[in-house]
Amino acid sequence: MEEINKPTIAITIGDVNSISPEVIIKALEDPRIIKLMTPVVYGSGKILSYYRKALNIRDFNYFQLKKLEELSDKKLNVLNLWEETVNITMGQSSEEAGKYAFISIKKAVEDAIEGNVDAIVTAPINKHNIQSEDFKFAGHTEYLAQAAGVKDSLMLLVDGDLRVGVVTGHIPIHEVSEKVTADKIDSKLDVLEKSLKMDFGIKKPRIAVLGLNPHAGDGGVIGHEEEEIIKPLIEKRKEKGKLVFGPFPADGFFGNQQYKNFDAVLAMYHDQGLIPFKTLAFSNGVNFTAGLPFVRTSPDHGTAYDLAGKGIADETSMRQALFLALDIIKNRKEYS
């Protein structure tokens, strides 16, 4: 009877010319997956068959379906979203790959919003070739937030107890300082705190906030954002009983392992948070979108065209993304 309650996890196909199909296949070979969840790849059995042959993987079998209602909870599933054969050129970007990557994401998100699946795990996409009339976003995170109709969401990189979120995501560096406002930081801290409680089961989360400037502004000598924006905001939250600390100078914070004293770290911009995170947790890291009504995780790497079809792509992050999705589903049930 237990198997009936296994969560259904939608896995988007990603860019079909990248390592996405390979890391999906390799991650799904793990026998624990089918015992703990019902995985369903949103895409095409023909693509998985192509890669299975190219990578010489013999014992990878799956059940193909045209409707989600036909799902088998005892097998790996592939939901065929199109009939036509996609032209695969391993290691090369193509408009066609972008088109089918979006079809996969769109359907998975629709099913997640309708409650037909319990989580989405997205395989890497190419942010350039996926652009179209329907997808004018810097990446998955921005598209998912709009599709779900949430006021705010947060890119949160996770590896065990290491969790790093970012105030500004996929924007040019010259725009960062003007986007780092008190309202924006406050909103991201709200999303982060709620997620730590609801998604990670932490009752009183301790959050570290990084400064924007070198040495966290050095008391106003190197920039004013810390003194005028970040510090007053942290003090306000502390007055409300929140366990928020900082702003910390970003370089020393990771170098001297201060991050180990906190449940999460909020960085001001993409590379400030992601460079130290990926240095500490490259193969195990998972990207989680906090603040959505459904669970969404993904590997913390990109398309890696240079590795496509060679059989050497590391599937660890994809596997970890599946397991983290499972953990968050359980934590949300306990929280509610």
Residue 1: its pLDDT value, please? 30
* One domain, residues 281 and 300: no
Number of domains in the chain: 2
The tokens for 277 are 């995170």
Paired strand residues for 77: 40, 63
* One domain, residues 245 and 166: yes
pLDDT tens profile 225-274: 999 999 999 999 999 999 999 999 998 999 899 999 999 999 999 999 99
Give the strand pairing for 243-248 and 286-290: unpaired
The tokens for 11 are 């896995």
- Is residue 217 over pLDDT 90? no
**Which domain covers residue 50, as residue numbers?**
1-150+292-336
* One domain, residues 178 and 224: yes
pLDDT tens profile 161-204: 999 999 998 899 999 999 999 999 999 999 999 999 999 999 99
Q: What number is the average pLDDT over the span 106-121? A: 97
Determine the residue type at 190: D
Lowest model confidence (mean pLDDT) among 18-32, 110-124, 130-144, 279-293: 130-144
* One domain, residues 8 and 135: yes
CATH number at residue 36: 3.40.718.10
Q: Last residue of some domain: 289, 304, 328? A: 289
Give the residue ranges of DSSP H helices in the chain.
Answer: 20-28, 31-36, 45-54, 95-113, 140-148, 176-179, 182-198, 225, 231-239, 250-255, 270-281, 316-335
- Is residue 98 over pLDDT 90? yes
* One domain, residues 7 and 141: yes
pLDDT tens profile 300-328: 999 999 999 999 999 999 999 999 999 99
- Is residue 2 over pLDDT 50? no
- Measure CA 334 to chain center: 22
* One domain, residues 2 and 122: yes
Q: What pTM does this model have?
A: 0.94
* One domain, residues 5 and 140: yes
* One domain, residues 142 and 186: no
pLDDT category, 7, cuts 50, 70, 90?
very high
* One domain, residues 10 and 144: yes
pLDDT category, 95, cuts 50, 70, 90?
very high
Sheet holding 264-267, edge to edge: 63-65, 77-80, 38-43, 8-12, 119-122, 295-299, 286-290, 154-159, 162-166, 264-267, 206-210, 243-248
- Is residue 4 over pLDDT 80? no
* One domain, residues 279 and 320: no
Distance (Å, whole) CA 21 – CA 214: 40
Residue 315: its pLDDT value, please? 96
* One domain, residues 161 and 226: yes
* One domain, residues 187 and 313: no
- Is residue 159 over pLDDT 90? yes
Distance (Å, whole) CA 2 – CA 295: 22
